[in-house]
Structure 1
Amino acid sequence: MRCAVLDDYQGVSLAMVDWSVLSGQVEVTVHREHFATEDEVAEALRDQEIVVIMRERTPFPASLFARLPSLRLLITSGMRNASIDLTAAASAGVTVCGTGSTSEAPVELTWALILGLARHIVTENTALRANGPWQSTVGTLLAGKTLGLIGFGKIGVKVARVARAFGMDVVAWSQNLTADRTSAEDVRLAASKEELLASSDVVSVHVVLSERTRGLLDADALKAMKPSALLVNTSRAAIVDQQAMVTALREGWIAGAAADVFETEPLPADDVLRTVPNFLATPHLGYVTDANYSIYFREAVEDIQAFLAGAPIRTL
């Protein structure tokens, strides 16, 4: 059978784990480049029976399944992928499987972004390398400040624990969050989104994108934040109104923002976010670590083996 691995930007998928267990059964082709259109994806995968994708880098809507009659097995990293039309997959006779993952990776990147913003790391590093001014910024001390968490799942809980180690107060809010859950972590439950935004020095987003959370942080929400506050989004771009965030940064509603997620990925060359002031950006690196990649590709191989044996595992 023919298998395609998509969006292996770093070219590491075949080196991370042992694919030789599939020798004689599966021929693997790796695509490092991102296919920007559905036509490109359909052309590249037209004869592939197995496809391995990385998170939501390449969407699989119903229209794409209809163009891939040879496809039998689709594997995604993680056990949830909103960009796959599971109903269409089932109708097309395609088995969809996932893999495990670790929540520590996005927690660590969240803190890298918070600290990068608070201490102006990129600005100072760039100046130092360019023989520019020796110290041009004044950092923000996190100890004694308040971290507001929009969402308090397994990632939000771990982000809160790090905040406590920094000596920060932590407040959390989401639509269904209860005081029993937050008090167990020495975190205060905000009475409302507005209360959290108004009282927090750093706001970090950790809710899942859904119709309820799309545009959750709009212009009114950003205006409710302190002018000195920092906003960090490592969840999904659409949770924060992107144009409102640009305006907030340009007009000084907030002091800075950081994001690891964007509505179009890779980010277009002419996107305004590449030039907006006080914005720290990383190219969706939240889950991109040696540990996560090892899990993803090892379990992708296991998923293929199980499928070939007629007993699929980790099905979505």
Structure 2
Amino acid sequence: MRIVRCAILDDYQNVATSIADWSSITEKVEVHTFSKHYDNEDGLVNVIKDYEILVIMRERTAFPASVLSRLPFLKLLITTGMRNSSIDLSAASSQGIVVCGTESYPEPPTELTWALLLGLARNIVSEHNAIQTNGPWQSSIGIDLYGKKLGLLGLGKIGSRVARIGQAFGMEVVAWSQNLTQTRADEAGVRLASSKEELLETSDFVSIHLVLSDRTKHLLGREDFQRMKLSSYLINTSRAAIVDQNALIEALKNGWIAGAAIDVFEKEPLLQKDVFRSLPNVLTTPHLGYVSQRNYQTFYRQALEDIQAFLLGEPIRKLN
């Protein structure tokens, strides 16, 4: 019996083979993991060109047609999550490559959103660093959330959960998106903003919870940041490209907004000299929104199920 080769990419934490029981397929599949991120197509293709199965983590590594066309042996591509904009599904289909996904949960990014928002409001990082370095005792005054306005761009699975927590803090919650209806806003118990402009002009915290698409790319630009309060904060745990990154940098440098908390970047891992590493009014995390024990267990266990089903000729959770 011929052994099929499977590569698991971008296993940053080296947990893929321990968080799921791969022993059920070891007689049929030889599994290799890679913790190093390959940031150019030639280097990536050179490593994976002989594999029949690939398991990838969200959108850490892109698979456009230019990459897929150089993988003649690839038969099954599994992504964690049921949506991945970095895979050219049409190209995969034309090459006979089956693309499958896994489930994921909205709670982890919801929780991280609030960790970042609270970190901004109460200056958690700077005060912690001051204690660690024998710096000043109490150098800042925190912002009260009670009575403040939380503006949500998007009110889907994650946005609606963020809204409920904001309400528990006693915040006024408003929401807007191109598709948001009054009925949906009423169901979530939040006020529907009359426009994006109204939401930005009146909110103390603006949090993004939208899917990246042609309509939402660069939804926030230079004029939008100039419209926001000087005391306001932006939180983005969704997708970097929803925000014009150059405009955000300009806004942060010029004080058009008080600060931002960012979990997503256009280039990941973030380059060593990237300006977001040094801006003093930014709280950054390395795309941790979906990185939780429950999600990882689901990702890799269902990836294993996808492989088993594919080997039986009955693929599940197909995306193409």
TM-score range, shorter chain: over 0.9
Aligned to 1:203: 206
Q: Aligned-pair distance for 1:13?
A: 0.6
Aligned to 1:140: 143
Q: 1:83-135, CA deviations, whole angstroms, 9 ceiling, x for partnerless residues?
A: 00000000111000000011000000000000000011111111110000101
The letter for the 2-side match of 1:112 is: A
The letter for the 2-side match of 1:199 is: T
Q: Distance in 2 between the 1:148 and 1:169 partners?
A: 8
Aligned to 2:265: 262
Aligned to 1:271: 274
Q: Does 1:159 align with 2:123?
A: no
Query: Which one of the candidate residues 56, 60, 65 is aligned to 2:59?
Result: 56
Unpaired segments ≥5 residues, structure 1? none
Cα contact 1:215–1:240 (8 A) shared by 2: yes
The letter for the 2-side match of 1:216 is: L
Q: Aligned-pair distance for 1:288?
A: 0.2
Q: Does 1:24 align with 2:27?
A: yes
Q: Does 1:237 align with 2:259?
A: no
Q: Distance in 1 between the 2:234 and 2:68 partners?
A: 37
Q: Distance in 1 between the 2:82 and 2:150 partners?
A: 29
The letter for the 1-side match of 2:189 is: D
Q: 1:284-307, CA deviations, whole angstroms, 9 ceiling, x for partnerless residues?
A: 000000000000000000000000
Query: Which one of the candidate residues 103, 127, 146 is aligned to 2:106?
Result: 103
Query: Which one of the candidate residues 294, 301, 312 is aligned to 2:315?
Result: 312
Q: Does 1:246 align with 2:249?
A: yes
Q: Distance in 1 between the 2:258 and 2:101 partners?
A: 39
Q: Does 1:124 align with 2:135?
A: no
Q: Does 1:300 align with 2:293?
A: no
Q: Distance in 2 between the 1:7 and 1:19 partners?
A: 18
Q: Distance in 1 between the 2:126 and 2:214 partners?
A: 36
Q: Aligned-pair distance for 1:250?
A: 1.2
Q: Aligned-pair distance for 1:186?
A: 1.3
Cα contact 1:200–1:226 (8 A) shared by 2: yes
Aligned to 1:47: 50
Q: What is the percentage of aligned positions where both structures have the same residue? A: 60
Q: Secondary structure at the match of 2:188?
A: coil
Instruction: Give the TM-score, by structure 1 length.
Output: 0.99
Cα contact 1:172–1:196 (8 A) shared by 2: yes
Aligned to 2:77: 74
The letter for the 1-side match of 2:230 is: P
Q: Secondary structure at the match of 1:63?
A: helix
Moved more, 240-249 or 77-86: 240-249
Q: Secondary structure at the match of 1:315?
A: coil
Q: Does 1:172 align with 2:150?
A: no
Q: Aligned-pair distance for 1:277?
A: 2.1
Q: Which runs of 4+ in 1 moved over 3 A?
A: none
Aligned to 2:97: 94
Q: Secondary structure at the match of 1:149?
A: strand
The letter for the 2-side match of 1:272 is: V
Q: 1:216-244, CA deviations, whole angstroms, 9 ceiling, x for partnerless residues?
A: 11010011111111100011101111111
Q: Aligned-pair distance for 1:17?
A: 1.0
Aligned to 1:192: 195
Q: Distance in 2 between the 1:185 and 1:270 partners?
A: 41
Unpaired segments ≥5 residues, structure 2? none
Q: Aligned-pair distance for 1:308?
A: 0.1
The letter for the 1-side match of 2:125 is: V
The letter for the 2-side match of 1:225 is: M
Cα contact 1:147–1:203 (8 A) shared by 2: yes
Q: Does 1:114 align with 2:117?
A: yes
Cα contact 1:250–1:277 (8 A) shared by 2: no
Cα contact 1:237–1:261 (8 A) shared by 2: yes
Q: 1:182-203, CA deviations, whole angstroms, 9 ceiling, x for partnerless residues?
A: 1112100001000000110000
Q: Secondary structure at the match of 2:261?
A: strand
Aligned to 1:8: 11
Corresponding pairs, count: 316
The letter for the 1-side match of 2:178 is: Q
Aligned to 2:289: 286
